[in-house]
Amino acid sequence: MRILLTGAGGQLGRQLLLQGGDHAITAHLRGELDIADLDAVRAAVRAARPDLVLNAAAFNDVDGAETHPDAAFAGNALGPRNLALAAAEAGAAVLHVSTDYVFDGAKGAPYHEFDRPAPLSAYGRSKLAGEVAVREMNPRHYVVRTSWVYEAQGKNFPKTLRALAAKQRELRIVSDVKGSPTSAVHLAAAILRLVDSGAFGTYHLAGGGEGASWYDLAVVFFRALGLDTRLVPVPASEFPRPAPRPAYSVLRTIQSPRIVLPPWQEGVAAFARELQAL
């Protein structure tokens, strides 16, 4: 399969390149292709002649989206719309990566693909708008929602915790916000399996199990690293942020094919081992 990949320098993009060796991938790093520019997107699609346009690019500054909503919508809604449209014009499918932040967390139980979105933040609204645009522009689409992605080479919360542990004997970690920690290694493998299936639609691909708080993740992560830093569970109110987050955004899947990622604890432990080997 010929794939045009955007966001190739991000956590997921790197893993898709590493694992997608069976496919001919044309990769675009940030700055190489402005997905908000329809003419540029059309030219890139014509040059690559892909069977699939895979969008792993995004405006990921959740708090920054509150003060820069136009930039968030350009990256998370207009860009995906352009990619889906150009793909449709070229007879290609499109896969767009979205987020658990399209939900408000009020359900209090894991969200499946057919639950109604209700984003709380500008970031969440921009990501939901991207989903809608992709579905409208290209009937041959995959929308993949995921959550709390991390990867050894990337910038992410677990790596921040590890850096803080080198300087502090005690860390206060939020324990009342729950999501699905997701290894980019596992996510990339699941996405490649999905596109091989040819079953278009909306999918939740996130770390398996009943979800975790940031505190839960830190406990498993530090145990795997062999660190004895004292971890103190605290409410999210101790760390106020500009953008509201869903308090409970664990993802599960009821789609077919039913692609279930390994338990989130396995991903975190493997991630810790990889960091130690670097």
Domains and CATH numbers, the chain: 2-152+181-208+251-262 (3.40.50.720)
Res. 95: pLDDT tops 90: yes
* pLDDT at site 154: 87
Coil vs helix vs strand at 187: helix
Q: Is the pLDDT of residue 31 over 90?
A: no
* pLDDT-based confidence at residue 9 (cuts at 50, 70, 90): very high
**Please, which pLDDT band fits residue 183 given cuts at 50, 70 and 90?**
very high
Q: Among all chains, which residue has been given the structure tokens 């999501």?
A: 179
Neighbours of 139 (CB within 10 A): 11
Identity (one letter) of the amino acid at 207? Answer: G
Q: Contact, 148 vs 177, CB < 8 A?
A: no
Q: Which pTM was predicted?
A: 0.96
Measured distance CA(120)–CA(247) in Å, rounded: 11
Cα 76 to Cα 84, 132, 179, 244, distances in angstroms: 12, 11, 21, 18
pLDDT at 182 over 90: yes
Please provide the distance, in angstroms rounded to a whole number, between the alpha carbons at the two ends of the chain.
32
Indicate the pairing of strand 149-150 with strand 24-28: unpaired
pLDDT at 13 over 90: yes
- The share of the chain scoring above pLDDT 70, in percent, equals 100
Collapsing DSSP to helix, strand or coil, 137 comes out as helix
| Cβ–Cβ under 8 Å, residues 164 and 171 | yes
Token pair, residue 276, equals 């130690």
Question: 251 pLDDT band (50/70/90 cuts)?
Answer: very high
**Based on C-alpha coordinates, what's the Rg of the chain?**
18
CB 102 within 8 A of CB 117: yes
Return the active site residues. Answer: 123
Grouping H, G, I as helix, E, B as strand and the rest as coil, residue 64 is helix
State which H helix or E strand residue 172 sits in: strand 170-174
The pair phi, psi for residue 250, each rounded to 5°, is -65, 140
φ, ψ dihedrals at 235, nearest 5°: -75, 155
Given a contact cutoff of 8 angstroms between Cβ atoms, the answer to whether 143 and 203 are in contact is yes
Range 56-84 average pLDDT: 97
**Omega of the bond prior to 110 within 30 degrees of 0, cis?**
no
The mean pLDDT value for 63-91 works out to 98
pLDDT at 30: 86
pLDDT band at 125 (very low <50, low <70, confident <90, very high): very high
Q: What's the whole-number mean pLDDT along residues 218-237?
A: 95
